[in-house]
Structure 1
Amino acid sequence: MTSRFTELSVDCHDPERLAAFWCEVFDFKVIDRSEDSVEIGSWVPTVEEVRARQMPTTLVFVQVPEGKAVKNRLHLDVSPIDASTEDEVIRLLGLGATRTDVGQGPDRSWVVMADPEGNEFCVVRSLASQD
C-alpha cells in the first residue's frame, strides 16, 4: 500500500488572484474551481495516471478568513528554466511578488520572495543552459 503526493494546498484570502499569479509563474492552467477554491496544474489528473506513477503535483488555493501570521514552515522553491535567477526575480516582481527577508542573510545563492498574499518562496539556481 502506498500514497501519492497529488496536491499542495495554500490557504489564502483570494484564491482566484493567487491562482492567477502562480499560473503565470509556472505556466499552469486552472483545472478545477469551486466557490472557495481554485486548483491549478500542468495537467488534469486522472485516477489511473496517479495510480500508475508519481505525477506532477497541483496547487490548490483555498479561501480562509484568517491572514498569514508567521513565516511559512513549508515553501516552494522555483528554478527558472530559460533565464538567469536574477532575470526571473525581475519577472516575478512584475507579476506582483516582493522580495522578503526571513533571516536568510545577504550572501545566499537563492532569493527569498513572497507571493501577493505574503507566502514565502525561493528562486533558486537557474536551469537555463550555460552556452
Structure 2
Amino acid sequence: MTSRFTELVIDCLDPQRLADFWCEVLDFTVLDRSEDSVEIGSWEPTAEAVRAGQMPPTMFFVRVPEAKTGKNRLHLDVSPVDARTADEVTRLLKLGATRMDVGQGPDRSWVVMADPEGNEFDVVRSLAP
C-alpha cells in the first residue's frame, strides 16, 4: 500500500491572485475554482492516472483569514527552461515577485524570491540549452 503526492496546498489571503501569479510562473492552467480556493496544474488529474504512477502535484490555493507571519518551512525551487536564471528573475519581478534575503549570503547560485503574498521560493540553475 502506498500514497501519492497529489496537491501542494498553500494558505493565502487572495487565492485568485496567487493562482494567476503561479500560472504565469509555471505555465499552469486553472483546473478548479471556488470563492475560497483555486487549483492549478500542468495536467488534469484522474484517479486512474494517479494510481498508475507518480505525476506532478497540482497547487491548491486556499483562503485563510490571517497573513503569513514567518519564514516558510517548505519552499519551491523553480528552474527556467528557456532562459538564463537572471532573465527569469527579471520576468518574475515583473509578475509581482520580490527578492528576499533569508540569510543565504551573496555567493549563491540561486536567487531567493517571494510570491505576491511573501511565500519564499528559489530560482535555481537554468535548464535552457
- TM-score norm. by structure 2 comes to 0.99
How much does 1:7 deviate?
Answer: 0.6
Identity over aligned residues, as a percent? 79
Q: 4+ residue runs of structure 1 moved beyond 6 angstroms?
A: none
Partner of 2:127: 127
Distance 2:96 2:34 in 1: 24
Partner of 2:47: 47
Partner of 1:8: 8
Structure 1 residue 34 corresponds to structure 2 residue 34: yes
Q: Which letter does structure 1 place at the counterpart of 2:70?
A: V
Q: RMSD value over aligned CA atoms?
A: 0.4
- Which residues of structure 2 form unaligned runs of 5+? none
How much does 1:34 deviate?
Answer: 1.7
Q: Which letter does structure 1 place at the counterpart of 2:122?
A: C
How much does 1:30 deviate?
Answer: 0.2
Q: Provide, for residues 83-104 of structure 1, a one-character-per-residue CA deviation record: whole Å limited to 9, x for no partner.
A: 0000000000000000010110
Distance 1:33 1:2 in 2: 29
Partner of 1:106: 106
- TM-score norm. by structure 1 comes to 0.97
Partner of 2:78: 78
Partner of 2:95: 95
- Which residues of structure 1 form unaligned runs of 5+? none
How much does 1:60 deviate?
Answer: 0.3
Partner of 2:59: 59
How much does 1:24 deviate?
Answer: 0.2
Distance 1:75 1:100 in 2: 13
Distance 2:59 2:67 in 1: 19
Distance 2:128 2:100 in 1: 24
Distance 1:106 1:71 in 2: 19
Q: Provide, for residues 60-102 of structure 1, a one-character-per-residue CA deviation record: whole Å limited to 9, x for no partner.
A: 0000001101000000000000000000000000000000101
Aligned residue-pair number:
129
How much does 1:35 deviate?
Answer: 2.0
Q: Which letter does structure 2 place at the counterpart of 1:74?
A: L
Q: Which letter does structure 1 place at the counterpart of 2:11?
A: D
Q: Which letter does structure 2 place at the counterpart of 1:72?
A: N
